[in-house]
Homo-oligomer: A and B are copies of this chain.
Amino acid sequence: MIITVIGLGLIGGSIALDLRANGHLVIGVDDNPSHLDQALDLKLVDTTEILESALSKSDVIILAIPIDGIKEILPHILDKIPYNTTVIDVGSTKESICSIIQSHPKRGRFVAAHPLAGTEYSGPKAALKNLFKGKSNIICEEDRSDESSLETAIDIFNHLGMTTMFMNPKDHDKHMAYVSHLSHISSFMLGQTVLEIEKDEKQIFNLASTGFESTVRLAKSSADTWVPIFKNNKQNISDALEQYIEFLSKFKEAVDKGDSVEMHKMITKANNIRRILLGMKLNVMKLS
């Protein structure tokens, strides 16, 4: 198939890389000329083109740009594609994207997806082979996609080594606020707190250990990717943050009072996450 990937950063670049390895012809489109050069140098894509010319010749269009960009160009892409082209977006929130094209006459050619994979890096150089292998993919509003476009999309995610599940956009966005977006905010603010206090960076180099590194790793993530995600999942993220701040305040109260029993209780509750993390590991083993 001829597949156009719009946005050649971490996610789009990694998708392009794996689909090329699967024998597809991949056309790259990106606003940023240096991204196009890098994508060609790194052999992420077969060729690069401007959007208009890529649209007319592709079997599949994959949108891998920040959410706001997806919302802006998706309706125009649907306007312009030939009737048998499939358009897939891989954005991290789904409700606002699905709602914006819900009455589009070519809604059926669109598949709203979210492959659950990534790293804290961005840009074409961050693209990785097999980034998606053994991971989960979510498709939302599958009943609003034509059978043929849904099938095409699932095939593509299968080629990436993913298992696809269906979920409605509302549930998707709520779950993501807790299992992904909150982790990022927690890490961004942890990074900021440490930088605020530890003016002497040399001390952090010397004193921080692997535990610190693991909790602030996500604080390296790109603002351009994440601000639109937070904007488009506002209410869920606000709720998640409220709950998180409430628990932190309760824990602070226990620290202030020297209340060992309460601290012990809260930590032991949190320890139940062991079961979840073990479950994740078993799930990955099962999938791969």
Contacts and interface: CB of A to CB of B under 8 A. Distances in A.
Interface stretch (A8-16, A22-30, A74-82, A269-277): A269-277
Nearest to A260: B227
A190 B244 contact: yes
A104 interface: no
Contacts of A201: 275-276, 279
Given A190-B182, A267-B223, A234 B206 contact: no
Given A204-B279, A219-B270, A255-B234, A248 B175 contact: no
B260 A231 contact: yes
Interface string A130-151: 0000011010000000000000
A94 to B, nearest CB: 12
A56 interface: no
Interface stretch (A37-45, A105-113, A207-215): A207-215
Contacts of A179: 194, 198, 204, 207-209, 212
A188 B270 contact: yes
A136 B206 contact: yes
A88 to B, nearest CB: 19
The count of identical subunits is 2
B198 A178 contact: yes
B248 A241 contact: yes
A189 interface: yes
Contacts of A136: 206-207
A126 interface: no
A242 interface: yes
Nearest to A177: B197
Contact of A276 (B116, B138, B204, B243): B204
Contacts of A222: 271
18 contacts: A136-B207, A180-B209, A182-B190, A183-B216, A187-B270, A188-B251, A194-B273, A194-B276, A204-B276, A213-B280, A214-B217, A215-B215, A220-B277, A221-B267, A223-B271, A230-B263, A245-B248, A248-B248
Given A211-B218, A214-B217, 8 more contacts: A179-B207, A188-B251, A193-B244, A215-B218, A220-B274, A234-B256, A234-B258, A245-B248
